[in-house]
Amino acid sequence: MKTTYIKRMARAMFAASVLVLAAALSAADKKPGKPDTEAEYTAKLEQRAADILKALELTDDVKAQRVRGIVIAQYRALRDWHDGYDAKLKGAGDEEARVIRATLKELHGKFIAALATELTPVQVERVKDRMTYDTVRVTYSGYLEMLPKLTEAQKARILAMLKEAREEAMDGGSSSEKTAIFGRYKGRINNYLSAEGFDLKQAGKDWTERRKAKQVISSKEPQK
């Protein structure tokens, strides 16, 4: 019963966040696998890299091109990894799966290290956010709005779990897989908050009422 309730609340409490994320996903590839032609896939990678570079606002064109190359190479490497290992993982035992996943972690680590040679820590964070549709910010903001009485320690714990989800989601083989990863971590966050004494059902209702009240006030404000 408790598990069913938490899953239901996880869907309800992030209604606004899902709308934002859905818009991002509709513009993204459903799966970074091979499309109809390699040229089409390359064009999509160029667009992804351009989106990331725009967020970074780099003024050094030479550095920007190096970062572009690192990002595109990572997307290609992820495609190749998932093409080569996804099917094997489905039938793998625990030890074999651990070995396979270790190669993905190694790929992830090399990518972050390469970015760190060109970018500041803040800029690396931006790359991570763009690769995961800014889900950390959207979801974290949702928790803060729904639960205004969170302590600093609780906020830090929530943010840490969301960033852990982001690290895993960066390597996801499709947008739906990335979403599922964040969904899994949201469940953990909800369990944590319930253990901390929060009534998520009531908090969700209160949040909805606050949003409605805010919309009413906004609708009554004179147009500029």
Domain ranges in the chain are 1-28+135-224, 30-132
Lowest mean pLDDT among 10-24, 48-62, 106-120, 124-138: 10-24
- CA 139 to CA 178: how far, in whole Å? 14
The predicted-structure confidence for 195-206, as pLDDT tens digits, reads as follows 999 999 999 999
Quickly count: other Cβ atoms within 10 Å of residue 160's Cβ: 11
| Closest to 191 measured CA to CA, from 2, 37, 61 | 2
Classify each residue of 184-221 as buried b or exposed e, where b means 16 or more C-beta atoms within 10 Å of its C-beta.
ebbeebbeebbeeebebeebbeebeeeeeeeeeeeeee
Helix (H, G, I), strand (E, B) or coil at 42: helix
- CA 125 to CA 128: how far, in whole Å? 5
Checking if the pLDDT of 208 tops 90, the result is yes
Sequence-distant (6+) residues with CB within 8 A of 46 are 72
Q: Which two tokens stand for residue 139?
A: 């979801």
Greater model confidence, 150 or 35: 150
* pLDDT at site 22: 43
> For the chain, what percent of residues have pLDDT higher than 90?
76
- The pTM for the full model equals 0.81
Q: Which two tokens stand for residue 77?
A: 């490497």
pLDDT category of residue 37 using cuts at 50, 70 and 90: confident
pLDDT category of residue 224 using cuts at 50, 70 and 90: low
Phi first, then psi: what are they for 138, rounded to 5°? Answer: -60, -45
Greater model confidence, 207 or 5: 207
- CA 167 to CA 127: how far, in whole Å? 11
The predicted-structure confidence for 45-93, as pLDDT tens digits, reads as follows 999 999 999 999 999 999 999 999 999 999 999 999 999 999 999 989 9
